[in-house]
Amino acid sequence: MHVSRGPLAAVAAVCFLIGGAAGLTVGRPAGSDPGAAGSAPSAVDRAAQTLLALGAGPSGSAPVPLLTWRYREDPADRGRDGGWADGGFGGRAVTVPFSPNAGRVTGPGAPRAYRGSVGWFTRQVQIPAAGRYELSFGSAHHEATVYVDGRRMRRHVGAYAPFSAVATLEAGPHTVAVRVDWWDPRAQADAGYARGWFNFGGLNRPVTLVHLGDTGLGALTVTTRLRGRTAAEVRVGVRVRNRGGTERRLQPQGVLVRGDVRTALPFGAVSVPAGASRTVSATVRVPGAALWSPDRPERYALELTVAGEATLRRMVGSRELRWSGARLRLNGRSLRLEGVGLPADIEGHGDAWTPADEARTVRELVSTGANATRSQLPLPESMPTTTDGPMFRAVDALGVTDYTGWYEGTDLDARGQAAAVRGRLAGLRRLFPDKPIAVTELGAVGTARIPGERFGSLAFQAELLGRRLQVLDGVDGLSGSLLWLLRDHALRPDFRGGSVLDAHPGLNLKPGLNEKGLFDYAGRPKPALRAVRTAFGRPGR
């Protein structure tokens, strides 16, 4: 993807273009679960062969998922003094990702579940050969401490940020234990980790095991510039890490593949000191390039290798995103974002989404007719088109939050609300005449608890969103509208609706839920879904 006049940064949180079901990729790392309780010998053997095949993955071996664990709650926090770091604390079998308190987000048990607890995860891994191994955690909330054979290897604080622990291990079985502490969300906020949604704990993203080689490949970037009507110039950059003991000269090999056509990437060699990393890049001209767009999500297979040491494989879309005259252009054509924001959790699993949860979310998103989505959180590697590095480098566009008709302007009729919206956007356009502007958050609650067409009802939400999108569609120069949100999600148990209650004190909303979704918490579509889908599919767009 290329953006002229500087890369396009996140437009209020993180914004992704999507293209049909292919726009978001749902999956899990390949390989078998090594040493899992109850695993058949063949599964363990396959995992061992995966770990022994150095050069098959970006850091050495291909990542092997660690799915099955034992879990035990430790509400009195006695495990550290009780020797639980060695994994000998029993517990029940769970599958990671797993959030222990995800089942009690509303009702009488919600306040206690929200306050948090301490829990321990443990499992055994079978190491096929002596060497350096990396345990990679997609996320843990809130404080996680990793132990291997009772020795502390890594402490991490925060959520939705990947972290890893590296250990030199002998061949044979080893015990991994992880203590996770998510007590007291108020103290978390005071320490700079405020989150308005529910205080889900646990290992809430996948865990993998990798046998490290002497070279690592990461921080992948793919930039496309159109050259004429049919050709594209594609630049691929990658970070090369030298894990060997001495300085080495490294030269990745690369290829872009689509069908029977293979385009070699001419990387140069680079000298990399021991323990350091360097970025290398290659640029190729691709005649008749198959360009990615929301309506035609074409992709190329990209493979980068350092022979026998590392291989990085990704499916990538070649696309040029520019802005000029305050308009976004994708592959030279005018682009208007039409999207819905992603929820933070899913019923029963919290923010520890399973592959089925991810697939369901993608289906729901595609059903809205959206061509873009917005996430409050970094998405797991299994959902976005993975780039292994910063997606954006600078901010060149404006994202506007506009809750006219819900948090503000509720005393105005439909004409007055439309005038207020147009006036605000016109003022921003005068201030920023040459930057793309998009409304990146608008919405309203729709709940079955309120009957008829009253404020906050399902019918009210559908009418307001359909009307708001129609007004925004008529604003000249607006680059898009993204709704908040796709599906209802859990908040603090004491949340009753926020500032909207000042103007509507008797509003009967579900405690602890954000009910602005087009689907309810259980995944049932609301009437607003049809209104939004109709607006996004309006002729002429």
Which run of H or E residues covers position 531?
helix 527-536
Confidence of residue 393 (pLDDT cuts 50, 70, 90): very low
DSSP 158-215: SSS--EEEEEEE-SEEEEEEEEEE---HHHHHHTT---SB----BB-S-EEEEEB-SE
User: What is the chain's mean pLDDT, rounded?
Assistant: 89
Q: Determine the residue type at 177.
A: A
Q: Determine the residue type at 241.
A: R
pLDDT in tens, 465-483: 999 999 999 999 999 999 9
Q: What pLDDT was estimated at residue 496?
A: 87
Contact criterion met (CB below 8 Å) for 22 and 384:
no
pLDDT in tens, 60-110: 999 999 999 999 999 999 999 999 999 999 999 999 999 999 998 999 999
Q: Is the pLDDT of residue 538 over 60?
A: no
Q: Determine the residue type at 155.
A: R
pLDDT in tens, 211-236: 999 999 999 999 999 998 889 999 99
Mean pLDDT of the 254-273 span: 96
Contact criterion met (CB below 8 Å) for 172 and 155:
no
Q: Is the pLDDT of residue 456 over 80?
A: yes
> Which tokens go with 227?
């050259």
Q: Is the pLDDT of residue 25 over 60?
A: no
Q: Is the pLDDT of residue 305 over 80?
A: yes
DSSP designation for 323: E
What strand order describes the sheet that includes 333-334? Answer: 321-324, 327-330, 333-334
Nearest CA among 290, 340, 324 for reference residue 532: 340
> Which tokens go with 206?
């996948």
CA distance 368 to 359: 15
Q: If you compute the radius of gyration of the chain from its CA atoms, what whole number of angstroms results?
A: 25
Is the pLDDT higher at 104 or at 249?
Answer: 249
